[in-house]
Amino acid sequence: MTVAPYPEFFNDVFGPVMQPGSSSHFAGPCRLGVLAGQLLGEPPSRIRILLDERGSFAGTFGIMAEDRAMVGGVLGFEPDDERLFRALELAEEAVVEVVFEFTEITESRHPNAVKFVLTGRSGREAKLVGNSTGGGMVETVAVNGFPLRTIGDTYVLLVFGAQKPIGEEQLAALVPELPQLVGSHEVGVDGLGVMRAYMLAVEPDLAALNGLLTAGLPGVNVAVLKPLLPVISQLDRKPQLFDTMTRWREIAAHEDLPLWEVAVQYERDASGWPRAWIIDRMRMLAGLMRRQTRAVYEEDVVVPTSPFKPDFAGRWAEHAASGRTVADGVTAQTIKWAYGAGSGIPGVIVVPGPMGGGAGYIYAAMSAVQDARGLSEDDLLRGLFVAAGIGAISYTRSAPTGEVTGCTGEAGTCGAMAAAAIVEMAGGSPEQAENAASLAMQAFTGMPCDPMPGGICQPCRSRILAATCMAHVFADLALAGHEAVLPLHEAIDVADGVGRSLPPELLCTSVGGACAAPAVQDCRVDFERWFAESKPEERPPASLI
């Protein structure tokens, strides 16, 4: 029996590696655009993008570079491609017409739904509806009018256009040609015919399959959607090792293993990768996080700024050099590295977790503790595995994204991950790690997501700084014996329930909360005027967070 998908470290928690920006408003839309371009199967001549007029993308359109991400994805640029920031200009150079429309998307009610309607150079058309579900993760809803759900963790062979279901004879000839078939389904739609989707763990030979299919089924069209995620779903995937920290601690006690080793086993079960691959992947991500926090201070880079996005790291460096800082020690270092993590420098790759650049903020808190206590890189690596485990539990039980659970799902989850990781680094017990994570989650429950247009990255920046700068405080409280009362999974469940009870205007639509304040109305007017008059390439990435 095929195991149902569940969150894992390198797809859901620490991924995708990307250019600076929002994971749900930049990386996610880019990935959906990539899938739409693959569905079309040829260079586009026209890109028509429909956004729900009441959704999150409409509320922040362009502010978080959604427009460039969507178009760049169709052009074939992945989330880590620096060309995304010039996508509109490059589309114009390629004589590609780009149209955005704000309407009702009937196929999906997700706040981050988007519909691509593409026309190719040959006149061929393709339609894809999908949702950006948070942390850079996406799901398709429909392709060419047929319902289809895939999250980009397999190759998907699409066979559609036939006026009748594929017969047993054709299936018998087809299936042996499909390597490592993970699953399949067939669906019919009146007026469109029938579509069959095959989920595969390895890439199919499209040329060979085209000949086989068109010979037996005249009028059939074939397309392949390639995986978006580094970990591809396997037939022999093992069941989820834990979905609460209570169970995680029980396994650690029973096996006489530290938490981080059980986390590595979780990822082995989820991915099927050897242990060495998993360790190497996390070490590589740690290197990216380190550069994300330090490039602004140690490399000859240009920090993109605007009247609405100052150089926070530069301001902090000047303040620290003056000797007038109130904060010191771990807190001051966390602020320094956190400002570095959020500098938004094109070409400096960031790692989400769960918000765009979130892993960099988590790393900032961990790195400050590492520096203060003289800990090793291996100590920090072990902490990252514990943070990843916390993230996997959060993704299992909740939707850690501002559009669904508010900023609790983003800044709050980052704070819980960092607090538990710091306890692990400091040699605390599994119970203390859970207490630290739960304390952090409880402290940040109920945060709305209300990014201010033109509000110099507020209130996003103050919330993520609060979460990361408090991580070592919650770690210390737990190490001192402060019990959280709520086990972590119950704290997550509470935060999820509160977040989902927030009205839509408090869920990343830039309408309610701080955005309704008179001062922000003035900011919005100024920002919208500047936005209309500026060129896309003049707008800094990640201009809100």
Strand partners for 222 = 159
Summarised one tens digit per residue, pLDDT across range 250-306 is 999 999 999 999 999 999 999 999 999 999 999 999 999 999 999 999 999 999 888
How far apart are the C-alpha atoms of 355 and 245, rounded to whole Å?
22
Strand partners for 97 = 46
Average pLDDT, the chain: 91
Question: With 50 as the cut, is the pLDDT of residue 545 above it?
Answer: no
Question: With 90 as the cut, is the pLDDT of residue 370 above it?
Answer: yes
Q: What is the pTM of this model?
A: 0.90
Torsion over CA: 243, 246, 247, 251 (sign): positive
Summarised one tens digit per residue, pLDDT across range 386-403 is 999 999 999 999 988 888
Question: With 60 as the cut, is the pLDDT of residue 432 above it?
Answer: yes
The edge-to-edge listing of strands for the beta sheet with 193-200 is 181-189, 193-200, 155-162, 221-225
Amino acid identity for residue 222 in this structure: V
- Alpha-helical (H) ranges within 272-348 are 275-298, 312-322, 329-341
- DSSP secondary structure letter of residue 305: -
Question: With 50 as the cut, is the pLDDT of residue 133 above it?
Answer: yes
Classify residue 418 as exposed, middle or buried by CB count within 10 Å of its CB (0-12, 13-18, 19+): buried
Neighbour-count burial for 373-408, b at 16+ CB within 10 Å, e otherwise: eebeeebbbbbbbbbbbbbbbbbbbbbbbbbbbbbb
Q: Is the peptide bond before 354 cis (omega within 30 degrees of 0)?
A: yes
Other Cβ atoms within 10 Å of 421 Cβ, number: 32
Question: With 90 as the cut, is the pLDDT of residue 48 above it?
Answer: yes
Residue 172's pLDDT is what? Answer: 62
Amino acid identity for residue 330 in this structure: V
Residue 379's pLDDT is what? Answer: 98
Segments making up each domain of the chain, as ranges: 21-225, 245-538
How far apart are the C-alpha atoms of 455 and 533, rounded to whole Å?
18
Other Cβ atoms within 10 Å of 182 Cβ, number: 20
21-225 CATH: 3.30.1330.90
How far apart are the C-alpha atoms of 155 and 206, rounded to whole Å?
11
